[in-house]
Structure 1
Amino acid sequence: MSVVVQQDAVVGDVVEQIASIAAERSLTVACAESLTAGAIASALARGEGAASWFAGGVVSYMSEVKFQVLGVAEGPVVTASCAEEMPRGVNALLGSRASVAVTGVGGPGEEEGEPPGTVFIATCVEDRIDVTRHLFEGDPPSVLEQTTAAACARLLDRLRAMPTL
């Protein structure tokens, strides 16, 4: 229980920093989620002034939603290429300038030949895409918590790296 509380505090701090950068730069932020099923959107929505910078998110748990709503090319979805297409799709759909997306295998078994805990996190900030592959350990709830924390941290890193105008 204390690990979850500690992780929530870390995510909350990261989200506050995202909120500050988004407000300062007049950015709209969105997310596209698969295995986290809305956890990232929930975290971002708790940020200070979220109504002014958080456009929303798409929970694309089923592959067909990725294909039909986010414009992901049909095929395997536990891939870097799927992850790369997801934030582009949500930015186009919601008119956001920055987004984070996740796809992967929460477990307990493998999917599409990938072991449990395999996660791809992608960001799209001002049309610049960045994709990272992770292998998280633990049971499915732990993988989801780690994914949410890593996705928020990755978004913050990419926003910090964004050139200021």
Structure 2
Amino acid sequence: MTHLSEALAHTADAAEALTVDLVDAVTTRGWRVATAESLTGGNVATVLSAAPGATSWFVGSVVSYSPEVKFGLLDVPRGPVVSAECAAQMARRTGELLGAELALALTGVGGPAPDEGEPAGTVWFAVAHPDGVRTVREVFDGDPPQVLTTAVARGLEILTAVAAHGPDAPVGHT
């Protein structure tokens, strides 16, 4: 197994407990979930699609790795794509496009070099919720595969907290 596949397997194992809480939060409310992923390239969607009963609550994902996909498909205003504004618009628009009450978006700098004035490891998360949008910025240590797997796990934590408690939920800090 490669370093990345080992890390993703570990992330999937750790995410299993989170998805139980997420599934409970969304199914009791009758909500659907979607994701918009840039630096994680669909890895959050992979974890969600493997969760119990995913066909009843997970509607899909937009992998918007390229800024042009963010600008064109997700209506992100031209400008920095490693920002709260970009993540929030990615989440809002994905929820609209896919008919989801909850939409998680992730955008950032996986590394190894900085980008847009942000250090490697910077990730912006946003969750669009019926009561508003929550954004969170984190800076993770590690090489690009480590940043990716940490971002996947952290995104699931944030999504679960917001699903259960709303956009003002405490989401902790890594």
Shared fold (TM-score, shorter chain, > 0.5): yes
Shift of 1:3: 6.3
Distance 2:7 2:84 in 1: 29
Residue of structure 2 in register with 1:35 after alignment? 39
Aligned-partner residue type, residue 113 of structure 2: G
Offset at 1:162? 3.3
1:72-115, Cα deviation, whole Å (9 max, x unpaired) = 11111011110111100101100110011000000000111111
Q: 1:14 aligns with which of 18, 35, 45?
A: 18
Unaligned runs of 5+ in 1: none
Question: Could you tell me whether the CA contact under 8 Å between 2:33 and 2:58 is conserved in 1?
Answer: yes
- 1:53 aligned to which of 54, 57, 80: 57
Q: Please name the residue that 1:69 is paired with.
A: 73
Counterpart of 2:151?
A: 147
TM-score normalised per structure 1? 0.93
What whole-Å deviation, never above 9, does each CA across 1:33-80 have from its counterpart, x for those lacking one?
A: 000000011011011110110010100000010111111111110111
Report the 3-state secondary structure (helix = DSSP H, G, I; strand = E; otherwise coil) of the residue aligned with 1:8: helix
Unaligned runs of 5+ in 2: 168-174
SS in 2 for 1:35: coil
Secondary structure of the residue that 1:111 maps to in structure 2? Answer: coil
How far apart, in 1, do the equivalents of 2:7 and 2:88 lie?
A: 30
Aligned length: 163
